[in-house]
Structure 1
């Protein structure tokens, strides 16, 4: 009897990438704004003005678009054909946000939200990660304008930066200052504020004053009497400001040889930022690391330490004094408006305070600076809801920049506004002197945002062909929604099966209260057969800054790094609710 046999046939599927056809809306717009199949510069200017809402578009804008397409074989000499026009719509010159600073930058510092980092030197978690200059460089390159450094005594009468009472490593202060000097203004010309969490003795504070003065030179802003309330981001361009608690006489009595027993600042006493109780048992371990850390960068000292120079005292370098006055929150909020200061509260302290003093906090932040920082139990470097601080006018909502998550993406989205310069003007309702704004009451003034998702492309260039599925193209869907003050809503498209070039052509409508304090959330996923959603890109965009019309929306990875090619083609329409109802 013959034995049966089985024939196995393996089908190898090749992933062919078709050319994505322009959506019907694009075809119609091209027909409306072209003549005989060609769009001239004048035609393009009309399109930019009437469809894209760029009323100030000039001939050089049209010229720049033409020049960006000349390398393509599809570009005719007389103007744009449909294919060239479509490539422009998908290109980097057609993003949903203005690449330029466009807000008034001459108002006082207290009138701006400032892109603020927390423990800016840490590369990972709050308990055992490495300290270094790379996280500082990365933050500055991403537009962060407020850098936090924890200062501690070290051997040989030196000063290091580290997260005290933990197993995190240390890095010399001088290296951090030099990194800030090098990268401070590569992305934005607007001022950088360094907040010192100071655990130093008086003699080491004088040494820090010397380091700061010598390193920054003319970059350093030297404060003058009663001037802070007049200073603006514009007047402080390419300046570095120091913010910390002014030193007290008792610091001079501390023993510099016992750094772990240095008294905590009043900011720490007011909250749980450093998680004191959980760290007591770590002191001996961190001391062992401490001796080893001092060997790092051995021999790197301040150049010309012995040179004769006039060094101002540590107190004289503090441009933005911080601290908490004696007494309860009521007393804290009564700081003399003539003497602008910075108040720091943990996220828990702020949440508690807003239940009783919401309006008072808003009033305080019209002229003074409020910094909010993560609670000490966030050992994994997670973050909190930034809108709680923002809707109360807090200028410095301090975040751990080294992780990822929805809250960090909201932060990144908010500061994509105003050209990504790191300063965003606060809404008028948080600034008007006679406005009794109540942050606990939903806004009655809102806008209607219409979002149409046409298509997407570029994933086959940014991902391996087998990244989403071993044997077939991905099944993409888009989640889109709003996140903000008194607003949270999400919708999703249908799933487009087996395509690297998905087309949805779906429209969504959202009611947006307080659009200045709201962001648009966009996330693309691959919907696999097991019901899970593999990540395929995201972005968060400030709603009040959205440019209307058809736009190319670049996508980012989980941490906020932009992909080279993956993007969506979308249309935005933002109108007052009353205008939509008429």
Structure 2
């Protein structure tokens, strides 16, 4: 694996000289540019931006702030938006033309960087240059990414920038890399690598040192178990490994050939149809060697079933970037949710000035945004990452007059994307499928009368129809949130609805819930009920089987309790267990809830729709999550590599432990931990075996969490990875860890051995 470290220097050198000579934009970025950093209409300050020689880092500083400067990595940038494509840049649109403006969008929950160049040419140079750098990164293979990571550490440790490292720099490097190595042992490795006996390591010597440092004994043990000669895996050896350990359902002969061709770095070994240890490491570190089954990454499920047969990735109070009381409202919340595959977003609408409806968390100090801006953002970003339908969940507090304005904006801005009638114009007998509704935006809101009446054009006019919002009042009252707010809403609970807005609601009519017995007799398939988490929890505990049956016929939305003013999340798993489709979470808040949501929707092309198990779709099954029957056993054995530091103290080293959590039906809920390893976040090995019994594997989601053990206080979070049990590959697999924000933190990983056995 590590022989490719030299490629790093060849790669950056060729990119830094030859590649840059051929690219005027990158040359310009290396020279640097003065641009305005914009935070608001009143905060516009000049900064000097420059691409560093590594072509991986952007450095910028204030002209007036002395030596104060900041940097960010190109790998942190997810996208570049040209023109006035952020609220901040829209606010100064009258001052700076669109062709000089652009926005850098960062991964995770980090705020955007809005910039204005001195000229349209300079703006375009940075936009094109950044896109080329990002494209280059995305095209990197795993080995190049690892090389890049090693090179970054080398640069950090080479304090005097002389291209070589003395022993003190090596010791500092080990601490930075989370290794608390015995000084005598470190010096022995240093001396062995210092072939020139110069007292420093350079080029190949550093490669040798790093290779000794990162020797993967855990993988070597597996390799030698299957290698007949101890040096290589013949094609036959590799076939045995794939058959006996990886348990892959494939043509083993063909698959072994493909793996050798794809991952073996030695041309000599390739000619012999063999795989060296380096090639074996490359394979195990690849997507094919990861815990997530690559066959389930694309859209593989049947997408032609009724909408209520799917779990739907859903957001609560989507406009909020922070807490529920004083946080900022922003269209950015909609953009981020939609680009993460969310398919149901919430819009709280209130009367605004000048006849324009606004969106914010009513009766709080959250900031306000225009409804039409929200609709524009949804129209632009709805189908960037998924073609499947988006549901706009409207909480309507507007007067009839401003509801008419809402309807105008929806029709004018969304055009044909807005679903205005049933697909064939006739009265349907059931919900259409995600496949049928591709490219469509659906409104979930109150509606005058039923779908049948509106199709026959006999719905009442808004002046005669009063629509009760008592269900929302009851939910808020139960949570006892903002008593004054509740009193105000009760006064307005008999709210009139505009026919224009009502006509925009087709398959998702919001209705008040009475009881499951009432719903079974009277409910229509297009009616949607909403519950707070506490109400839903009460129903699933008291009448779980009835709840499941209800969700085989209709859509149900569950949203966080009003007590969660900090925008925290509940555990969505218990709602999925009874088949609730629209389990709405605060997407802006990292943690277990969003990890589980990201994990469930990481399959099926991340399209935002996951087909529910058969027993949650069939009304005759009578599934009860409290009493499941099936059983599976599953056992991971674990080691870890290059875990990130979590403590801000420079000399601190991680004491890692791994917790494996099973989230599923109540009988399956379980957590087990490994022991912790003292002072080694670089290459800890546990060889611990954890065993779980799982009764309903179809609903099980597995979360791997790495923490830094602390005996006196709460453990610090290091990384996590969450996936459905159904997407898990058996055998020896790498788990590529994610940050708290759900972004990748290469090359941090866990190495596990997994066996799933069915118990009779």
Does the Cα contact within 8 Å between 2:512 and 2:529 map onto a contact in 1? no
Tell me the distance in 1 between the aligned counterparts of 2:412 and 2:418: 10
Secondary structure at the aligned position of 1:197 is classed as strand
Secondary structure at the aligned position of 2:322 is classed as coil
The structure having more radius of gyration, on CA atoms, is: 2
Tell me the distance in 2 between the aligned counterparts of 1:358 and 1:282: 30
The counterpart of 2:733, out of the listed 551, 573, 579, is 551
The counterpart of 2:325, out of the listed 90, 110, 127, is 127
The counterpart of 1:331, out of the listed 518, 527, 538, is 518
Summarize the Cα distance change of 1:264–1:130 in structure 2 as closer, same or farther, 3 Å threshold: farther
Tell me the distance in 1 between the aligned counterparts of 2:376 and 2:318: 14
Q: 2:249 corresponds to which residue? A: 55
Please state how far the C-alpha of 1:219 moved relative to its aligned partner. 2.6
Q: 2:312 corresponds to which residue? A: 114
Q: 1:206 corresponds to which residue? A: 404
The counterpart of 2:605, out of the listed 406, 413, 419, is 419
Matches within 5 A, 1:467-482: 467=647, 470-471=650-651, 473-482=653-662
How much is the aligned-residue C-alpha RMSD, in angstroms?
A: 3.5
Please state how far the C-alpha of 1:45 moved relative to its aligned partner. 6.8
Does the Cα contact within 8 Å between 1:273 and 1:373 map onto a contact in 2? no
Does the Cα contact within 8 Å between 2:312 and 2:610 map onto a contact in 1? yes
Point out where structure 1 has 5 or more consecutive residues left out of the alignment: 1-10, 255-261, 285-311
Bigger relative contact order (CA 8 A; separation at least 6) = 1
Secondary structure at the aligned position of 2:716 is classed as strand
Tell me the distance in 2 between the aligned counterparts of 1:144 and 1:273: 29
Please state how far the C-alpha of 1:317 moved relative to its aligned partner. 2.0
The counterpart of 1:450, out of the listed 635, 660, 672, is 635
Summarize the Cα distance change of 1:178–1:38 in structure 2 as closer, same or farther, 3 Å threshold: farther
Tell me the distance in 2 between the aligned counterparts of 1:273 and 1:213: 34
Matches within 5 A, 1:149-228: 149-224=347-422, 225-227=426-428
Please state how far the C-alpha of 1:551 moved relative to its aligned partner. 1.8
Matches within 5 A, 1:19-30: 19-24=213-218, 27-28=221-222
Summarize the Cα distance change of 1:32–1:235 in structure 2 as closer, same or farther, 3 Å threshold: farther
Tell me the distance in 2 between the aligned counterparts of 1:210 and 1:355: 43
Please state how far the C-alpha of 1:19 moved relative to its aligned partner. 4.0
Secondary structure at the aligned position of 1:505 is classed as strand
The counterpart of 1:565, out of the listed 747, 754, 760, is 747
Summarize the Cα distance change of 1:353–1:473 in structure 2 as closer, same or farther, 3 Å threshold: closer
Q: 2:709 corresponds to which residue? A: 527
Secondary structure at the aligned position of 1:343 is classed as strand
Please state how far the C-alpha of 1:241 moved relative to its aligned partner. 1.5
Deviating more after overlay: 122-131 vs 239-248 = 239-248
Summarize the Cα distance change of 1:392–1:37 in structure 2 as closer, same or farther, 3 Å threshold: same
Secondary structure at the aligned position of 1:334 is classed as helix
Summarize the Cα distance change of 1:335–1:231 in structure 2 as closer, same or farther, 3 Å threshold: same
Q: 1:536 corresponds to which residue? A: 718
Tell me the distance in 1 between the aligned counterparts of 2:431 and 2:618: 17
Tell me the distance in 2 between the aligned counterparts of 1:553 and 1:539: 7
Point out where structure 2 has 5 or more consecutive residues left out of the alignment: 1-167, 175-209, 450-459, 489-498
Give the helix-richer structure, 1 or 2.
2
Summarize the Cα distance change of 1:134–1:274 in structure 2 as closer, same or farther, 3 Å threshold: farther
Task: Say yes or no: does 1:136 pair with 2:334.
Answer: yes
Summarize the Cα distance change of 1:251–1:223 in structure 2 as closer, same or farther, 3 Å threshold: closer
Deviating more after overlay: 11-20 vs 392-401 = 11-20
Please state how far the C-alpha of 1:463 moved relative to its aligned partner. 4.3
Q: 1:364 corresponds to which residue? A: 550
Q: 2:759 corresponds to which residue? A: 577
Please state how far the C-alpha of 1:565 moved relative to its aligned partner. 2.3
Please state how far the C-alpha of 1:484 moved relative to its aligned partner. 1.9
Does the Cα contact within 8 Å between 2:734 and 2:749 map onto a contact in 1? yes
Does the Cα contact within 8 Å between 2:338 and 2:381 map onto a contact in 1? yes
Q: 2:621 corresponds to which residue? A: 435
Tell me the distance in 1 between the aligned counterparts of 2:719 and 2:513: 48
Give CA deviations for 1:211-255 in whole Å, capped at 9, x if unaligned: 22222233333331433724112222232221111158796599x
The counterpart of 1:83, out of the listed 278, 297, 309, is 278
Tell me the distance in 2 between the aligned counterparts of 1:432 and 1:263: 33
Summarize the Cα distance change of 1:419–1:38 in structure 2 as closer, same or farther, 3 Å threshold: farther
Secondary structure at the aligned position of 2:482 is classed as helix
Please state how far the C-alpha of 1:491 moved relative to its aligned partner. 1.9
Please state how far the C-alpha of 1:378 moved relative to its aligned partner. 1.3
Summarize the Cα distance change of 1:365–1:81 in structure 2 as closer, same or farther, 3 Å threshold: same
Secondary structure at the aligned position of 1:80 is classed as strand
How many residue pairs get aligned? The number is: 526
Tell me the distance in 2 between the aligned counterparts of 1:123 and 1:132: 7
Does the Cα contact within 8 Å between 2:235 and 2:256 map onto a contact in 1? yes
Tell me the distance in 2 between the aligned counterparts of 1:561 and 1:15: 25
Give CA deviations for 1:63-99 in whole Å, capped at 9, x if unaligned: 88567647x6899543531112112212344332232
Summarize the Cα distance change of 1:200–1:105 in structure 2 as closer, same or farther, 3 Å threshold: same
